[in-house]
Amino acid sequence: MTITIKRVLGPLLVTIFGIAGYALLHATAPQPAQEEGRARPVSVFTAAVRSDSLTLEVTTQGEVRAATELDLVAQVGGRIVAVAPEFTEGGRITSGDALVTIEDVDYRLALSEARASVAAAEVRLQQARADAEVARKQLRDDPSASDLALKKPQLAEAQANLKAARARLEQAELNLERTRIGLPFDGRLLSTRVNIGQYVTPGNILGRAFATDRVEIRLPLSDDQLAALDLPIGFTADPGAAPEVTLRASVAGRQHTWQGRLLRLDAAIDPGSRMLFAMAEVDDPYGSGASDHGMPLATGLFVEAVIPGRQLAQALLIPPAALRAGNKVHVVDADGHLRTRAVEVVSRGDDRVVIAAGLEAGEQVIVSTLRNPVQGMAVVAMPTAATL
């Protein structure tokens, strides 16, 4: 019995004393020194804010279109008996030249009849005047004589018939003139729909043409571009003092430049694009308004337009990469910490952003991409030679 108790208590006592010793050693062991952790600074690329005087430029794009474009429409009916050699797509139109000629036999006959009607009406008027004069002399001593007896209504009827005959004569002359169809301006034909031998009725469209005296370019402007121009909505340029517009396009493998002028700004914002549209104009695009290389400013051409804006004496310039969403900029302060600033943007371009307020010249703005920027985080500035 005693041996059995010793066999059980021995290991138990050893285990108890081992646990007690481990607890005593753990309780009396010295604590390791704890150090406060520091966030590692983030290296960022920066660029210096530069101050300069400059004239803002607005760059936009638009399609050239004719200022005058219309359908060539027949005003009288008949068979086409002749068409001009220029009556073809791309043909050159000279003001007053007949492009299409309609058979005029019926209209010449109508003109002869109208002239005869005028001659007969003139004879009847002379007869009515003579009758009225005779009646007036015969009844001059009769105060009760009526207007009918004095032939006054007959005279008025003869005068009205003569006016109507002359009106029909004028209409006949006009219809005869309308058998020769042309345009009152110099231009070019876009398309034709008829040819010799075809019968047309009044209202038939014969073709489509445009004038070459001037072209227009409708240019979209964003809110920033409108601010750079410093022009009000609904602006209309004074004659002779319209802002200049430089137009550029690549045609036939060569870069061409044309000079135009800004005529006006729309009075309403386009509801679809939320843009404001401006209208530029170029005179004589196929003549004196052609490029230095002699290339006309053809309709349908897509061009880039550069419009000079307002002048700034102290503009602040930063790279486009420095501008963040919501017109915010990250700046590295003197202590090496990130600070976020709200800035006032005047103009944006592919190579620079013009700032009116929110920064100072010489400050370092961050151009690196930051995934989770935190206000006041430590950064290491790495200046770059960004050109503006």
Rounded CA-CA distance 302/62 in Å is: 6
Q: Which helix (DSSP H) or strand (DSSP E) does residue 26 occupy? A: helix 2-28
Rounded CA-CA distance 79/21 in Å is: 127
Fold exhibited by the domain 104-176: Helix Hairpins (1.10.287)
pLDDT at residue 168, rounded to an integer: 96
Query: From the centroid of its chain, how far is CA 264?
Result: 11
Rounded CA-CA distance 344/2 in Å is: 97
Q: Which amino acid is at 284?
A: D
**What CATH class has 76-103+179-212?**
mainly beta
Q: Which helix (DSSP H) or strand (DSSP E) does residue 306 occupy? A: strand 302-318
pLDDT at residue 41, rounded to an integer: 85
CATH for 44-54+313-383 is: 2.40.420.20
Q: Which amino acid is at 259?
A: Q
Where b means 16+ CB within 10 Å and e means fewer, 275-300 reads: bbbbbbbbeebbeebbbeeebbbbbe
CATH of 58-66+213-311, one of 3.40.50.2300, 1.10.10.60, 2.40.30.170, 3.40.640.10: 2.40.30.170
* All structural domains of the chain with their residue ranges: 44-54+313-383, 58-66+213-311, 76-103+179-212, 104-176
Please identify every stretch of the chain with a pLDDT value under 70, giving residue numbers as ranges.
Answer: 1-14, 17-18, 20-39, 141, 385-388
Query: From the centroid of its chain, how far is CA 125?
Result: 62
Each residue of 280-328: pLDDT tens digit? 999 999 999 999 889 999 999 999 999 998 888 888 899 999 999 888 9
Each residue of 12-46: pLDDT tens digit? 666 776 676 666 666 666 665 555 555 678 888 99
Coil, helix or strand for 276?
A: strand
Task: Region of 187 please: left (phi>0), alpha (psi -120 to 50) or beta.
Answer: beta
Q: How many CB atoms lie within 10 A of CB 374?
A: 12
3-state secondary structure 197-224: CCEECCCCEEEEEEECCEEEEEEEECHH
- Straight-line distance from the first to the last Cα atom of the chain, in angstroms, rounded to the nearest whole number: 101
**Strand pairing category for 42-48 and 379-383:** parallel
